[in-house]
Structure 1
Amino acid sequence: MAIMHGVVLYTRPYRDNDLLVRMLTQEAGLRTFLARGAKKNNSKLAAGVQPYTLNSFEGKLPKQQEGLGYLNSIQSSHYFRTVVEDLNISAYVALIAKLIDLSFEEGQPIEDWYDKFCQALEKLDQGLDPQIITNIFEIQLLKPLGVEPNLRADPIDGQMDGQFDYSEKYNGIIAENHYYLDDNRLHLDQKTIFYLRQFSQIKLSQINQIKISPATKRSLQKVIDYIYDQQVGLKPKEKVFIQSMDRWQSDLSRLVQERNLP
């Protein structure tokens, strides 16, 4: 037995009263634990196995580093109320969790990503923009997913200042004097390029407020979705849900505006 620290990503039913708890742990990366009796009303584990709960717990890892571990007791828990109770925020957190789960091997040491995820939950619980926090993860997770666009300098001559656009052909940004080399560049505005470059290297601990216009947010999401669709080939159901939610909100706003017209 050992004391470990982990954030619950999601749970799955297992038998009548048990749960399989998927965690991102500080000590052992991504792990799945069997929580016996966690579905019972009087279970002492119940509070600690809620999604996005930060736990200190007593558990056991599998002997061969494969298969299930065991979650025996919860020492302490921290519940991010705003994250869990706000549907919009929890949808974005679910996407972050899924991307982390898809990006790394079972048991791979990724303490830095554990720290980032904990910081993200804290920032979101404080009310920071969930799309932008998620966009930062989407960009920074491209490297472990096997696609790392160059967002620092033009690969042709190393230029780092000036006007840039995104080029799939050159896997990243190219400077204005090289636009002619790619007729299919994305024609992004410079604010979008600026934030893409910032997101590739910013630390969440540096972010205390977010002020980005709705137009720039839409542009950022469009190019990030393009990279995931075209270069990664990945579209989790969590992403589909967010897109559906955004369309529903847009339709609702348009309906309200139409009804308010004289």
Structure 2
Amino acid sequence: MALIEGLILYIRPYRDSDLLVRVFTKDQGMVTLMARGAKKAKSKVGFACQAYTWAVFDGVYPKNGQGLGFINAVQDSRVYRHVVEDITVSAYAALIVKILDLAFEEGQVQPNWYQKALIGFDKLNQGIDPQIITNIFELQLLPSFGVAPNWQADPISGAVVGDFDYSEKYNGIIERSHFALDDHRLNLDPKVVYYLRQFSAIDVDKISKVTLSMMTKRGIQRVIDYLYEREVGLKPKEKVFIQKMAAWEGQLKIKAREREEKS
């Protein structure tokens, strides 16, 4: 028996009344635990077995970091209510969860990222812009996929101050005087480069209210999507859902403006 503390990432039905609970644990990283009878109305553990919940279980870890562990009882739990109830925030949380789950091997202890995950979900729950929190996670998790762009200095001159653009050829930022060396640089707005550099290194705990223009946010997301699709080879269905949701919201705003103009 063990006390298992962790953030529940997602759950899956298993058999008639059981659940498989994917948990980012404090002590053993990513594990899957079986909660027997959790779907039953009288279950003593089912209430805590829901996505985006921090919990402490009495249970058993998977043996040798493989297979399934088990949940026997709940000692404590706390659901991130706003994350669960707001569809937009929930969509971004699902993307963070997906990337975290893919970034680390089963049973690989990640105490720093575990704490970052809890802080990130606290920020989402407080109503901080979910795209910004997600972008920070996306950028800072890139090295876990073997992709580590240089956001700090021009590799040619060492410049850390100036106007920069992103160059895949040089795996990071290059200063304006070197733009001619890469005809395929991304031609980014300076504000986009500034925030990419900040988000790649910032402590998520220091994020409070951040207000960016829609154009800047789109530019940041475009670069991140470019890196994940071209260099990581990853485009999760959770990201596709967010893109479709944004397009749908955009159509609603256009229709609303058209109705206002006609009235």
Partner of residue 14, structure 2: 14
Calculate the aligned-residue CA RMSD, in Å. Answer: 0.8
Structure 1: distance between partners of 2:255 and 2:62? 54
What amino acid sits opposite 2:230 in the alignment? Q
Aligned length: 262
Partner of residue 154, structure 2: 154
Displacement of 1:195 in angstroms is: 0.4
Partner of residue 201, structure 1: 201
Identity %: 55
Displacement of 1:62 in angstroms is: 2.2
Structure 2: distance between partners of 1:135 and 1:208? 15
| SS of alignment partner, residue 40 of structure 1 | coil
Partner of residue 118, structure 2: 118
Structure 2: distance between partners of 1:99 and 1:259? 40
| SS of alignment partner, residue 160 of structure 1 | coil
Partner of residue 28, structure 2: 28
The list of structure 1 runs, each at least 4 consecutive aligned residues, that deviate by more than 6 angstroms after superposition, is: none
- Aligned pairs for 1:18-167 within 5 A: 18-167=18-167
Displacement of 1:226 in angstroms is: 1.0
Structure 2: distance between partners of 1:64 and 1:162? 51
**Structure 2 unpaired stretches of 5+:** none
**Structure 1 unpaired stretches of 5+:** none
TM-score, normalising length: structure 1: 0.98
Structure 2: distance between partners of 1:65 and 1:85? 33
In 1, are the aligned partners of 2:7 and 2:54 still within 8 Å (CA)? yes
Structure 1: distance between partners of 2:53 and 2:238? 19
| SS of alignment partner, residue 231 of structure 1 | helix
Displacement of 1:221 in angstroms is: 0.8
Partner of residue 190, structure 2: 190
In 1, are the aligned partners of 2:31 and 2:62 still within 8 Å (CA)? no
Deviations 1:140-174 (A, max 9, x none): 01000111111011111211110100011111101
What amino acid sits opposite 2:136 in the alignment? I
Structure 1: distance between partners of 2:146 and 2:172? 14
Structure 2: distance between partners of 1:12 and 1:183? 47
Report which stretch shifted further, 14-23 or 149-158: 149-158
In 1, are the aligned partners of 2:95 and 2:239 still within 8 Å (CA)? yes
